[in-house]
Amino acid sequence: MAWFGYNTRNDVPMIISAPRVHSRPAFACVGNKRNLPFCRTNLPISHRVNDLIGRLTLAEKIRLLVNNAAPVPRLGIAGYEWWSEALHGVSNWGPGTRFGGQFPGATSFPQVISTAASFNASLWEEIGRVVSDEARAMYNGGIAGLTYWSPNVNIFRDPRWGRGQETPGEDPVLAGKYAASYVRGLQQAQGNRLKVAACCKHYTAYDLDNWGGIDRFHFNAKVSKHDLEDTYNVPFKACVVEGKVASVMCSYNQVNGVPTCADPNLLRDTIRGQWGLNGYIVSDCDSVGVFYDTQHFTSTPGEAAAAAIKAGLDLDCGPFLAVHTEEAISGGKLTEAQVNSALANTITVQMRLAHQQLALEAARQGIVLLKNSGPALPLSPAHFHNVAVIGPNADVTATMIGNYAGIPCAYTTPLQGIGRYTKTIHQPGCTNIDCTDNSLFGAAVGAARNADATVLVMGLDQSIEAEARDRVSLLLPGRQQELVTQVAMASRGPTILVLMCGGPVDVSFAQFHPRIAGIIWAGYPGQAGGAAIADAIFGKLNPGGKLPVTWYPQDFVTKVPMTDMAMRPNPSRGYPGRTYRFYKGPVVYPFGHGLTYTTFTHSLAHAPPTILSLSLSLSSSSLHHRTNSTVQTHAIKVTHAKCDDLSFDFHVDVSNTGDRDGSHTLLILSAPPAGRWAPQKRLVAFHKVHVAAKSTARVAVPIHVCKDLSVVDNYGIHRIPIGDHSLHIGDLTHSLSLRADPLGL
């Protein structure tokens, strides 16, 4: 860590060395606090931010106002170092980044002034992307942060300026274009999410360090409004408006007698008000201390802290706000609400930073628990001291990411994930996914005999299912089924089957096997898949996934040629139809199947109507003819209905009656009246809700009749069937009768 202190002879800030700390995630929830609302990534960021701030004490808030933000152990919040640099490559100048181990260095691109000479905006953005990629890799390796205080977009006003080399030059348009391009490359924003957070500095009119006996800590830049708007502020405006930068850094100097970090016109009114910054404003390192100690802008430290925060500063690089904000509040110069506003801006950026945790979270939410006899799952590490981990997919890496994938920075295999909970005994069982011989079966059976529990990780890979490679069978490849059966019969403890595959597999043998206690479908879970699988097995995760496809039995492929594109069944030729909407044959597991470690019940909180009248929107001249047609076909064309008023909310109370918190997916299915066009049922809405143990959450799901209750006829026309419809959520059914009202014009 590095703090700025002062040399008492000349009031020039100097670095006071302190040990660097291991880089922490930009926003990390740890321990048993991950279920608190502010940790739930499925909630809106604003909701999470407000929830967290509402839980913090004033002392905790104050320690989050500085670059080395302190942890909050009671809330499971890790500390974070905000200060990292990436001017023309990832740098270790700031305390948030260090080199070593697998990352002895990073690409160092030409200095900015040289790169600016290319006048190539796409080059600048591409450099930003590469720097961002390397920064992300180092972050994943635990030696860098996600907030980079770059680029420097000051105007190179005077050729003598020592830092002019860091800038894109003297032209404000060129500097602005560079700024926006490099920021876009660094941040690689997707919606509101950022790959890393950039920062444009040093705002504003900063282009003197130490010349002629005048240094930047004492300098008052006297700038006309014309020059400020036409020159000095142009690159910063481009950063915010065009580049959508996540942060702006205010400078040491004064502008027209006011320190930039204490000027509400420059910060609050211009950066945030006029330009619409969606991010935080940070001081140059110890700028707040400089304008109190060196520039003597305020009479007390508390007044300085108040002036900075009230002006719009959100984060202090340095200790000043951590030390003096309490004084500002107790002295009536600042309110806690104003501190909350500053924290909201920094915490929001932290939560916008998608990171490796997101990959793990995505894998977790995709885990589907297919079977849990007993229940055997979850396993307790306290009771299962060693686990046999067996199968051709037990220790794979590339298999987990499927096809059309990049190269992850790191993997967690199922074996590694399970090894974080208990001792493991690993045997592959098969030499590869084809599993064409049983030469390794004996060792696998022996491992299962000597372990407290057994996890078999079986399934498919890209040699079986991939682009230009269709399957010919729904069974596990080769002798995998034989391996599973032998191991299960020999296992001393419960046997859990984990399936890593994209398409469905007929595992009927395991579904009904008394020695196979649990079955988990992991799909191709990505780089963190092994951690997610282990979290599910040992109960850190309560699985909440649902199958997005029907799992058919093997004999389905003997009845349905791939070339037959018909969806609906045709009994006359023995064609069973496709998908859960039309297929009428047996299944291994149905669409939407998925168990949890708790139990959920549903009840109607506010019943929708049981009778709805459909008014027609036809002209009176054609009403009689159209009405006869409608009555005869028992369906109204959607284009003939007054759809605007045909909607209602389906209010459902979801109760978690078990002892574990869990996420539940509401699947709202509609079944129309019997008819020649209608599917058996179809999904019309879905909603995922997290419900704490022994509690209830209310969900309102909008249903629009014309969209959700219509069907498509043989001519591709959307129609609304007249008659009795039903809406299904699990075992809950609500009947709704639709009636035609041809006179309701």
| CA separation for the pair 415, 113 (Å, rounded) | 49
CB 706 within 8 A of CB 641: yes
**What is the reported pLDDT for 319?**
96
Tokens at 108, concatenated: 């160092």
In the predicted structure, residue 469 carries a pLDDT above the cut 80: no
Angle, in degrees to the nearest 10, between helices 529-537 and 356-365: 50
**What is the reported pLDDT for 406?**
36
| CA separation for the pair 580, 675 (Å, rounded) | 17
**What is the reported pLDDT for 626?**
45
CA angle 562, 568, 572 (to 5 degrees): 90
In the predicted structure, residue 542 carries a pLDDT above the cut 50: yes
Tokens at 483, concatenated: 């391996």
| CA separation for the pair 371, 393 (Å, rounded) | 20
Amino acid type, 683: L
**Parallel/antiparallel/unpaired status of strands 635-637 and 516-521:** unpaired
Radius of gyration of the chain (CA): 31
How do residues 172-190 score in pLDDT, each as one tens digit? Answer: 777 888 999 999 999 999 8
| CA separation for the pair 95, 98 (Å, rounded) | 7
pLDDT band at 640 (very low <50, low <70, confident <90, very high): confident
**What is the reported pLDDT for 230?**
76
- The whole-number average pLDDT for the span 6-27 is 36
How do residues 37-96 score in pLDDT, each as one tens digit? Answer: 888 877 889 999 999 999 999 999 999 999 999 999 899 888 999 999 998 888 888 899
pLDDT band at 279 (very low <50, low <70, confident <90, very high): very high
Helix-strand-coil split of the chain, %, nearest 5: 30, 25, 45
Amino acid type, 664: H
- The whole-number average pLDDT for the span 577-597 is 88
How do residues 289-320 score in pLDDT, each as one tens digit? Answer: 999 999 999 999 999 999 999 999 999 999 99
- DSSP label of 607: P
CB atoms closer than 10 angstroms to residue 107: 12
Q: What is the dihedral of CA 98, 103, 104, 108, to 10 degrees?
A: -80
Q: Return the percentage of the chain with pLDDT > 90, whole number.
A: 48
CB burial readout 542-551, b (16+ within 10 A) else e:
bbbbbbeebb
Cα–Cα nearest to 638, from 720, 517, 745? 720
Q: Report the predicted TM-score, pTM, of the whole model to 2 decimal places.
A: 0.57
| CA separation for the pair 721, 35 (Å, rounded) | 43
Tokens at 502, concatenated: 């994209």
| CA separation for the pair 153, 177 (Å, rounded) | 10
How do residues 236-269 score in pLDDT, each as one tens digit? Answer: 999 999 999 999 999 999 999 999 999 999 999 9
pLDDT band at 633 (very low <50, low <70, confident <90, very high): low
* Residue ranges with strand state E in 329-484: 368-372, 386-390, 423-427, 453-459
pLDDT band at 624 (very low <50, low <70, confident <90, very high): very low
**What is the reported pLDDT for 17?**
28
Cα–Cα nearest to 738, from 714, 719, 715? 719
Cβ neighbors of 401 (< 8 A, separation 6 or more) are: 408, 524, 526, 527
On average, the pLDDT of the chain sits at 85
| CA separation for the pair 436, 97 (Å, rounded) | 49
In the predicted structure, residue 566 carries a pLDDT above the cut 60: yes
Q: Is 284 a catalytic residue?
A: yes
346-355, 407-416, 605-614, 619-628 — which one is most confidently predicted on average?
346-355
- The whole-number average pLDDT for the span 523-546 is 88
**What is the reported pLDDT for 6?**
29
Backbone angles phi, psi at 706, to 5 degrees: -65, -30
Catalytic one of 133, 207, 263, 284:
284
In the predicted structure, residue 4 carries a pLDDT above the cut 60: no
**What is the reported pLDDT for 623?**
37
User: In a 10 Å sphere around its CB, with 0-12 CB exposed, 13-18 middle and 19+ buried, how is residue 221 labelled?
Assistant: buried
- DSSP label of 616: B
- DSSP label of 103: B
- DSSP label of 652: E
Listing DSSP states for 543-582 in one string gives -----SS-B--TTHHHH--TT----S-BGGGTB--SHHHH
